[in-house]
Amino acid sequence: MKNVISSNLGYPRIGEQREWKRALEAFWKKEITEKELTERTDQIRLKNLKKQKENGIDLIPVGDFSLYDHVLDTSAMFGVIPERFNYEGGKVDLDTYFAVARGNQHAVASEMTKWFNTNYHYIVPELQSVQPELTENRPLTYYKEAKEKLNIDGKPVIVGPITYLKLAKGYDEGDFSSLLDKFLPLYVQILKELEDAGATWVQIDEPIFGTKLSEEVLAQAKKVYETFLQAAPNLKIILQTYFEHIVNYKEVTSFPVEAIGMDFIQGDSLTLLREYGFPKDKTLGCGLINGRNVWKANLEEKLSLLNEVQDYLGENPIIVQPSTSLLHVPVTKKLEEQLDSGIKAGLAFADEKLEEIAVLTKGLQQGKASIQKQLEENRADLNHFNEKTNRRNERVRQALKEFESSGTSAVERGLPFRDRIKEQQEGLHLPILPTTTIGSLPQTFEERRTRTKWRKGEISNEQYDAFIKGKIEKWIKIQEELGLDVLVHGEFERTDMVEYFGEKLNGFGVTKFGWVQSYGSRCVKPPLIFGDVSFDKPMTVKETVYAQSLTDQPVKGMLTGPVTILNWSFVNEDVPRYTIQNQIAVALREEVETLENEGIQIIQVDEPALREGLPLDKKKWKAYLDAAVYAFRLTTSSVDDHTQIHTHMCYSEFHHIYETIDGLDADVISIETSRSHGDIISTFEENTYDKEIGLGVYDIHSPRIPDKEEMKQNIHRALKVISPKQFWINPDCGLKTRNEAETIGALREMVKAAEDVRQEVLQKK
């Protein structure tokens, strides 16, 4: 029997039916006590551990569970709490913990950004003048819990020091070494206490090694792991990487650890093994089950890959595991009773992926014959999925070929921006520093309950349409009373900005319980792209045109762009991603043209996920960005010059993709920047941007209502480097997750701020 064990890197926190989300939000609303929150989340965490044990996983992660975010957990464990929260040391209480994540009326929240190139958001550590201390050994607490309550010898999971510091802000690059020296003894204490408690394995997550690091940082990292070995020599450390292959492969594989976990889905880890081999004194964690997608693995192919990997390893032990934490996929497909049987046959959510890992582990240990039944079942499921008659659409493929063969003419506007903006200004009659929102308005329990009743057939289509119209009427009136210049219909008919389009386009499927965590308690349900994508019928026109009929002010048509729909969907891997992206663009192009034909003068095509999708390997950036620009322009370029195209982006790190954003040729772009306003402003000090732009002037992810003076400060900072003729004033993102009072209060202050600054600008003329 070969030396093979199974492992998991992390498990979804949210519960099969988002019990975790409901507990958190009930606590925030003061509907339950801290004790009740703890009891509910304890139940979810222990159930997660039991399921992994029952699925035959040998190395079960503990400490991967969180009440908000694992990076924030790490900050709290080390007492890294910004001064504005009046933290006085010791264990971080829940009120402070959540205030850092969400803000309060006295202090703005810490910055939130994407976890590498995923749709998961982490809270950015702030290290200004930090003096870290170990406030609690969190991994030890969860290790003991699993041991005592479930008799599980768990594998504690810790965010590694190199990754943690590289993802933090508030220090100069030259201070990295001194900061590392401050945190190193704390990590050592954690590991020594785990060793003393009897822990066998520890997983230290270092996804930062999927990016290129300097020789100096690599040397420092090696010393860190040498220190770990000296401090806890009996502890087996897995240095876990994911999201890409290890860029500095030779250096990282020389670190003195028991095992190194590698992602065999993203990047090209297999080529690294072929070219450089693998250290004879280490165990390989082979991440070959996709932790970021939901499609069933071909087990015969995966077993063949495992055998090839084993050939390169010789007698080395091997750990069979997912490519990443399963945090990025839904919990289980067993609840998807309404889903088409063919699509369901092709799916594997977190629980099903654990089964795949267990089967492959057995197959590698005992030989292919030992899992013959499972291989046959897997083959039958994949055949059932592939035989779906509507997976391939030749008409769509031919149409895309025609666009691509026509060259740049398919993706160019009629006039350059400097000329068409004049036509738009004459038609729209907007004031200087126009105000608008990003798109969505608050969705309350009433909206969700009514939509559920409609889906269940408890109310008619006519009743549901009347309800949506009532909401649109209410909020058009509110927006007019607030004094906003460009209005939105509010998107009350939409569950999610991507799932909604997944329900309307051919080639997509949607789930009922396929939730994944995006940020905090915010969960999304990515649609499933199972085949070629095409336009079916208008998706947004009815609501937008109705809203426009209620007001003389312009109402924006609101679409999600092709790059974001692709990045926030679970895409089957049979067809190249960029091909699917362009198919989505062609479908959206029809929707854009329909909106324009119905008299909508402003159409916003949101691309919040454009920056997020960048590969970690910078060598792949150009191909990705070129494809993104082409798809966006394919979506938007057919409109007349007087139609104004807007787009919106999140966490865009504008300086990295400045040329790409300019290349989109959108007339107006809004960027989510309120938590990192100064960072984005610096880009405009270094570059000239000639189109119109809105930098979010307040943070919608926080329940606090900033006053107009705070927003005016953000506006003034932007106007130092951006002309008032170019600048729009808006929140930094959609308002769906905020309640009515928060939304109206914040927008009222925003309009007041805009009016004040507008007067200042006009007086200077």
Coil, helix or strand at residue 735: coil
pLDDT at 144 over 80: yes
438 annotated as belonging to a binding site for a ligand: yes
**Tokens read off for 240:** 């876990």
**Tokens read off for 544:** 């937008």
CA distances 212 to 208, 219, 251, 618, Å, are: 8, 13, 11, 9
18 annotated as belonging to a binding site for a ligand: yes
pLDDT tier for residue 765 given thresholds of 50, 70 and 90: low
Residue 285 φ/ψ, nearest 5 degrees: -90, 105
What confidence score (pLDDT) does residue 346 get?
95
For residue 431, how many other CB atoms are within 10 A of its CB? 11
**Tokens read off for 149:** 């309550």
Helix axes 269-276, 299-313, angle to 10 degrees: 30
What confidence score (pLDDT) does residue 680 get?
66
Mean per-residue pLDDT, 467-484: 97
pLDDT at 318 over 80: yes
Q: Where are the alpha helices (DSSP H) in 429-561?
A: 445-455, 461-482, 499-504, 541-549
Q: Which helix (H) or strand (E) holds 646?
A: strand 644-650
What confidence score (pLDDT) does residue 1 get?
46
Strands 556-560 and 318-322: unpaired
Range of the domain at 433: 420-764
> What does the pLDDT look like over 35-50, one tens digit per residue?
999 999 999 999 999 9
Residue with tokens 């958001």: 121
Q: Are 624 and 649 in contact (CB under 8 A)?
A: no
568 annotated as belonging to a binding site for a ligand: yes
**Tokens read off for 362:** 């057995």
20 annotated as belonging to a binding site for a ligand: yes
> What does the pLDDT look like over 573-587, one tens digit per residue?
888 999 999 999 999
Residues 398-404: contacts with CB under 8 Å, at least 24 apart: 399/586, 400/579, 400/582, 400/583, 400/586, 403/582, 403/586, 403/634, 404/582
For residue 722, how many other CB atoms are within 10 A of its CB? 19
Q: Are 745 and 450 in contact (CB under 8 A)?
A: no
Cα–chain center distance at 481: 35
pLDDT tier for residue 408 given thresholds of 50, 70 and 90: confident
Which of residues 701 and 379 earns the better pLDDT score?
Answer: 379
The mean predicted confidence, pLDDT, of the chain is 93
> What does the pLDDT look like over 12-31, one tens digit per residue?
999 999 999 999 999 999 99
Distance between CA atoms of residues 511 and 750, nearest Å: 38
Among candidates 591, 532, 537, 582, which has minimal Cα distance to 403?
Answer: 582
pLDDT at 558 over 90: yes
Evaluate whether residue 468 is within a structural domain. yes
Q: Are 729 and 694 in contact (CB under 8 A)?
A: yes
612 annotated as belonging to a binding site for a ligand: yes
Mean per-residue pLDDT, 538-554: 97
Sign of the torsion angle spanned by Cα atoms 139, 143, 149, 150? positive
672 annotated as belonging to a binding site for a ligand: yes
Output the domain CATH number for residue 742.
3.20.20.210
Evaluate whether residue 153 is within a structural domain. no
Evaluate whether residue 576 is within a structural domain. yes
Beta-bridge partners for 261 = 240, 285
Distance between CA atoms of residues 633 and 363, nearest Å: 48
**Helix/strand/coil percentages in the chain, nearest 5:** 50, 15, 40
Q: Are 646 and 670 in contact (CB under 8 A)?
A: yes
Beta-bridge partners for 670 = 648, 694
Rounded percentage of the chain residues whose pLDDT exceeds 70: 97
pLDDT at 593 over 60: yes
Evaluate whether residue 746 is within a structural domain. yes
Q: Are 9 and 322 in contact (CB under 8 A)?
A: yes
Out of 90-104, 251-265, 643-657, pick the least confident. Answer: 643-657
Distance between CA atoms of residues 559 and 251, nearest Å: 46
Mean per-residue pLDDT, 607-626: 89
For residue 214, how many other CB atoms are within 10 A of its CB? 11
What confidence score (pLDDT) does residue 496 get?
86
Which of residues 2 and 144 earns the better pLDDT score?
Answer: 144
Helix axes 176-196, 215-231, angle to 10 degrees: 20
pLDDT tier for residue 314 given thresholds of 50, 70 and 90: confident
Strands 112-114 and 259-263: unpaired
What confidence score (pLDDT) does residue 658 get?
79
Q: Where are the alpha helices (DSSP H) in 613-739?
A: 621-636, 658-663, 677-686, 708-719
674 annotated as belonging to a binding site for a ligand: no
What confidence score (pLDDT) does residue 389 get?
63
Q: Are 205 and 163 in contact (CB under 8 A)?
A: yes
Evaluate whether residue 359 is within a structural domain. no
Among candidates 127, 131, 122, 132, which has minimal Cα distance to 101?
Answer: 122
Residue 592 φ/ψ, nearest 5 degrees: -60, -45
Distance between CA atoms of residues 37 and 88, nearest Å: 24
**DSSP for 75-139, written as a single string:** HHHTT---GGG---SSSPPHHHHHHHHH-BTTBPPPPEEESTTSS-EEEPPB-TT--------HH
114 annotated as belonging to a binding site for a ligand: yes
Q: Are 690 and 417 in contact (CB under 8 A)?
A: yes
Q: Are 730 and 695 in contact (CB under 8 A)?
A: no
What confidence score (pLDDT) does residue 495 get?
86
Exposed / middle / buried, residue 752 (Cβ in 10 Å: 0-12, 13-18, 19+): middle
Evaluate whether residue 592 is within a structural domain. yes
Evaluate whether residue 363 is within a structural domain. no
Written as one letter, the residue type at 92 is V
Which positions are annotated as active-site residues?
701
748 annotated as belonging to a binding site for a ligand: no
Among candidates 591, 615, 502, 582, which has minimal Cα distance to 543?
Answer: 591
pLDDT at 562 over 70: yes
Distant-in-sequence, close-in-space partners of 596: CB < 8 Å, separation ≥ 6:
603, 639, 640, 643
648 annotated as belonging to a binding site for a ligand: yes
Residue 40 φ/ψ, nearest 5 degrees: -65, -45
pLDDT at 654 over 80: no
pLDDT at 406 over 60: yes
Mean per-residue pLDDT, 316-330: 97
Written as one letter, the residue type at 303 is L
**Over the range 682-711, which residues count as b (16 or more CB within 10 Å of their CB) and which as e?**
ebbeeeebebbbbbbbbbbbbbbbbebebb
439 annotated as belonging to a binding site for a ligand: yes
391 annotated as belonging to a binding site for a ligand: no
- Domains of the chain: total: 1
Beta-bridge partners for 204 = 158, 239
Evaluate whether residue 113 is within a structural domain. no
pLDDT tier for residue 679 given thresholds of 50, 70 and 90: low
